[in-house]
């Protein structure tokens, strides 16, 4: 049975927990420290940060103070747009490691497909991977044509593509593309910043299963085989987000949720990146 410690195997054999904690827009310092501490105490072992978030130091301190063996944790960070390029990325990685107080990260991602930059940035990620500095490498916010371009130049296929993904942005073609190419899709903002948790279908299913609308969406992610990293700074909500493994949506219910798709982004569109 699936649970909070369930992992998915990436193409290189590394295992990533199916559910994690995202810390975008969590303030550096005490807020992110307490947020990560509470998640770890609840049993979370997957924490997702980025240099752009400005909170890697707090994440690293919370992980260190938890005294959980490093090998039991899965830590992701990302290289930001103005840090991209081959040498620039290698330097950015060292800054992230120093902030995190770690010798390696489990997953390092290109945060956005910056035109004219992401190919060289990917070469840097390949170097870090080949040198054993990261356990897995991937991308974030890449659409199919970005991946096509990258794969023309890459020696190593990205192991993960982290994108905005939720029922009103059900990127079915991208999900199929990633499955075909053995790239694990991962959802950021899986709850769409709570913009449509009031939807009648989600409430109807929530009443049926004794779950919240948010839990219905997170379960939908999991049943699509998508790794998901909801953000919450509140321990009760973190606990609720983790309680999605004791029920299963039917095929018809999954299809009904799929049909909520309306290209409803809450974040930036990668196709518009300059």
Judge whether 106 and 14 are in contact, CB under 8 Å.
yes
CB atoms within 10 A of CB 69: 7
Distance CA 151, CA 148 (A): 5
Task: Give the span between the Cα atoms of 87 and 121, in whole angstroms.
Answer: 8
* Of residues 198, 200, 192, 196, the one with CA closest to residue 221: 192
In angstroms, rounded to a whole number, what is the distance separating the alpha carbons of residues 233 and 26?
Answer: 7
From the centroid of its chain, how far is CA 178? Answer: 15
Q: Can you tell me the distance from the alpha carbon of 244 to that of 237, in angstroms, rounded to the nearest whole number?
A: 12
CA distance 76 to 89: 15
- 53: annotated active-site residue: yes
Which candidate in 33, 53, 170, 196 is catalytic? Answer: 53
Residues annotated as part of the active site: 53
């Amino acid at each position: 049975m699936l649970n909070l410690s369930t992992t998915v195997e990436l193409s290189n054999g590394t295992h990533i927990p199916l559910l994690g904690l995202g810390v975008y827009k969590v303030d550096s310092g005490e807020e992110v420290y307490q947020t990560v501490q509470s998640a770890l105490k609840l049993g979370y072992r997957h924490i997702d940060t980025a240099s752009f978030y400005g909170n890697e130091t707090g994440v690293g301190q919370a992980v260190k103070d938890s005294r959980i063996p490093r090998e039991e944790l899965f830590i992701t960070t990302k290289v930001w747009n103005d840090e991209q390029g081959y040498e620039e990325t290698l330097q950015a990685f060292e800054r992230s490691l120093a902030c995190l107080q770690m010798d390696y990260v489990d997953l390092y991602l290109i945060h956005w497909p910056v035109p004219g930059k992401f190919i060289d940035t990917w070469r840097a990620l390949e170097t870090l991977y080949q040198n054993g500095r990261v356990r897995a490498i991937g991308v974030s916010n890449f659409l199919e044509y970005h991946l096509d371009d990258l794969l023309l130049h890459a020696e190593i296929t990205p192991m993960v593509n982290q994108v905005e993904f939720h029922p009103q942005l059900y990127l079915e073609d991208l999900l199929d593309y990633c499955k075909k190419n053995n790239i694990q899709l991962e959802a950021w903002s899986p709850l769409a910043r709570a913009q449509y948790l009031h939807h009648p279908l989600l409430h109807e299913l929530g009443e049926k299963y004794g779950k919240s609308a948010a839990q219905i969406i997170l379960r939908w992610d999991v049943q699509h085989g998508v790794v998901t990293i909801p953000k919450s700074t509140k321990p009760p909500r973190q606990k609720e987000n983790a309680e999605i493994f004791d029920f299963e949506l039917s095929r018809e219910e999954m299809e009904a949720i799929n049909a909520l798709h309306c290209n409803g982004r809450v974040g930036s569109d990668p196709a518009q990146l300059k």
